[in-house]
Amino acid sequence: MIPDLPANIEQIKGFLAADEGAALYRHAQAARALGPVLEVGSYCGKSTLYLGLACRDGGTVYALDHHRGSEEHQAGEMFHDPDLYDSGEALVDTFREFRRNIRTAGLDDTVVPLVSSSDVVARHWRTPLGMVFIDGGHSLDAALLDYRCWSCHLVQGGILAVHDLFPDPYEGGQAPWAIYQMALASGLFAEVERVNTLGILRRL
């Protein structure tokens, strides 16, 4: 049972299953003692709510997203949502929906939005992290960038979580699976568990 989880959590736009959200909550609650949590790819804040509620009483979540949507969210693509399209700017804009969901959940003092890209924010980043959750762009270039920018900032014992793992290419994109395997092959991480399409690794 997750205290204060919004009753409408399943109606919030996003692609996170309930069991994956519960696993994020559990691991963030334990990892927050090691350092802040950083999420790459917040979209409308569904996963951010699980992380934020886990850190509400003594932690901070940095929610990193340019809020212009990933490749698959653009006009004409499979996961495009017209409600999140700013016709005046001719761009996807998920930030307003994100802020509304964070504010409604009472997490404005826990969640710090970083509205930019991984490489820009990571350029001068110096804060050790207790947990990194990667759920950003699913092209190989984007996933590799997120992994290389942020996995190096995890403290020993910290958690690296990667979403949308599909070992079978017929079931889903391969970029998240590729960086997950890269992390394991590095010898720096050990697998803790897999929940649905969410993989959890611990920094050795």
Residues annotated as part of the active site? 138
Separation of alpha carbons 94 and 140, rounded Å: 22
Separation of alpha carbons 45 and 107, rounded Å: 11
Tell me the Ramachandran region of residue 97: left when phi exceeds 0, alpha when psi lies from -120 to 50, beta otherwise: alpha
Separation of alpha carbons 135 and 16, rounded Å: 10
Let me know: does 181 contact 143? Beta carbons within 8 Å: no
Separation of alpha carbons 96 and 202, rounded Å: 33
Task: Provide CB contacts within 8 A for 184, sequence distance 6+.
Answer: 190, 191, 201
Parallel, antiparallel, or unpaired for β 91-92 and 85-86?
A: antiparallel
